[in-house]
Structure 1
Amino acid sequence: MTTKAPTDAVPHTELSVNAQRNNDSSHPPMKPKDAATLIIVDRTGPAPKILMGRRHMRHRFMPGKYVFPGGRLDAADRHVPFASDLNPGVLEKLSKSPRNGKSVATMRGLGMCAIRETYEEAGLFIGAPETSPRRLHEDWQAFEERGLMPVLEPLRLVARAITPPGRVRRFDTRFFAVDADQIVDRLPEGTGPSGELEDLHWLTIEAAHALDLPRITQEILHELDLRLQADPDFTPHLPTPFFYMKGKHMVRGEI
């Protein structure tokens, strides 16, 4: 991974991070793969709550850590029909400093990825009823069976982070946020069919900080807390934090 700052990032702030922990040289350099995560915010109580689950211990990447639903972009995510498209401001943000292509289909696919992974890992459907049924990819059959189409317009980009070099897996992850009222259906099992996330819970941000979290998830929770206080509507055009490595330090840029 190059240590050059992204061209679209504004001046950054270096975070105090142990260099050995974030630049493990035991694994060869690899290009980060596009990924997406969905932070679902439930505002019905006195304090906002978010959905998190524990990664299964069989995973090589961050086993046992609590995370938001999410995963790697699949090729099919770029071509899924939708009930509503991305907000133009969100699309513009997603198109800044891409590393694996900036086509509209790829940017839209990142939102689709977050929605699909939320179904697969948490059993939740972010979508809308479809009056004119269309055939969906096999990964989206559960949506088709319920007469649902994914909705992209409510998604808001709240952060981006690139896994440091030397890790067993590397991802260029976009963190989306959406209100829990966008959940239109859920599996009765209380989890998703992939079995990748266990022990799913709705937690306040304060309670989430007490869990066994990846370092970047701690940073994202901090940013989310500030954003909910200053801009609870997640205004699309406001600066979005972008975490990446510069030398041996994690950097907080903006897009």
Structure 2
Amino acid sequence: MSIDKSQIRNASTVIVLRDRFESPRILMGQRGAKAVFMPNKFVFPGGAVDAGDADIPLASPLPDLCAARLSEDADATLAHAIAVAAVRELWEETGLILGTKGDWDTPPPPDWETFAATGHLPAASALQFSFRALTPPGRPRRFDARFFLVDADDIASDLDDFDAACDELSHLQWVPLSEARSFDMPFITEVVMAEVEARAKDRSPPQSVPFFKNNDEESLFLRLHGTPMKG
């Protein structure tokens, strides 16, 4: 039986890593008790790709290596929207800015008005595609989630100022990487955490990306090596 892709939403998740060479910490928050998807769990900021994300210009694109990894076993035209969603979700859920100073050429859509008001343009060059996971069948919502690792030094705003965040995540905090596993988190977040720990002191994009692929027949743990870029 094949996967009904109409029931699966593409999503972006952002793992911000701070003080990676001294005492690494990651940014996490807690989902609400009434949330349909993973209530009460501590998670990284992220969410579904919106239709309008494909039309948002980026001041800088994804690294070529990451774009190639994203295009494997996927529609390559989605890479831009997935990157834009990562920047947008990080802003909405934490108030942190991944972007560069600049003015928008055209008025931003409603979802981007507060971001644009900070005087920044969204940028994706700091995003490192590091993990992909497909929600198993039987869940109330299913996502094809791409996880991006970002060095906190690439954030353009105050790392401790969450005032602009929406209320989707509570208890936003910088969690020591060594203590993160003591938090109540989804299984897949624990799996991703192991990948973050392994890459904490490596600032280069991964040469291959783990893909936890769940379909109706089986669960597969694959590695994405990338589709060659056309040029």
**TM-score, length-scaled by structure 2:** 0.88
The CA deviation at 1:56 is: 1.1
Partner of 1:86: 62
The CA deviation at 1:188 is: 8.4
Q: Are 2:206 and 1:254 equivalent residues in the alignment?
A: no
State which drifts further: 196-205 or 160-169. 196-205
Distance in structure 1 (CA, Å) of the matches to 2:193 and 2:184? 13
Distance in structure 2 (CA, Å) of the matches to 1:254 and 1:244? 10
Distance in structure 2 (CA, Å) of the matches to 1:188 and 1:203? 12
Partner of 1:234: 204
Distance in structure 2 (CA, Å) of the matches to 1:145 and 1:30? 35
Note the residue ranges of structure 2 that are not aligned, 5 or more in a row.
225-231
Checking the alignment, whether the CA contact within 8 Å between 1:42 and 1:48 is kept in structure 2 is yes
Checking the alignment, whether the CA contact within 8 Å between 1:191 and 1:198 is kept in structure 2 is no
Letter in 2 for 1:164: P
The CA deviation at 1:113 is: 0.5
Question: Are the structure 2 counterparts of residues 188 and 202 from structure 1 closer, same or farther at C-alpha, using a change threshold of 3 Å?
Answer: closer
The CA deviation at 1:222 is: 0.7
Q: Aligned pair count?
A: 224
- What do residues 159-214 of structure 1 show as CA deviations (whole Å, max 9, x unaligned)? 00000000000000000011111221259862554311000111122211100010
Q: Kindly report which structure 2 residues correspond to 1:129-144, keeping only aligned pairs within 5 A, or say none.
A: 129-130=101-102, 133-144=105-116
Aligned match for 1:161, one of 133, 140, 143: 133
Q: Kindly report which structure 2 residues correspond to 1:1-255, keeping only aligned pairs within 5 A, or say none.
A: 2=2, 31-43=7-19, 46-98=22-74, 101-103=75-77, 106-130=78-102, 133-185=105-157, 190-229=162-201, 232-236=202-206, 238-245=207-214, 250-255=219-224
Distance in structure 2 (CA, Å) of the matches to 1:185 and 1:114? 16
Distance in structure 2 (CA, Å) of the matches to 1:198 and 1:57? 10
DSSP 3-state at the match of 1:116: helix
Note the residue ranges of structure 1 that are not aligned, 5 or more in a row.
4-27
Distance in structure 2 (CA, Å) of the matches to 1:75 and 1:164? 23
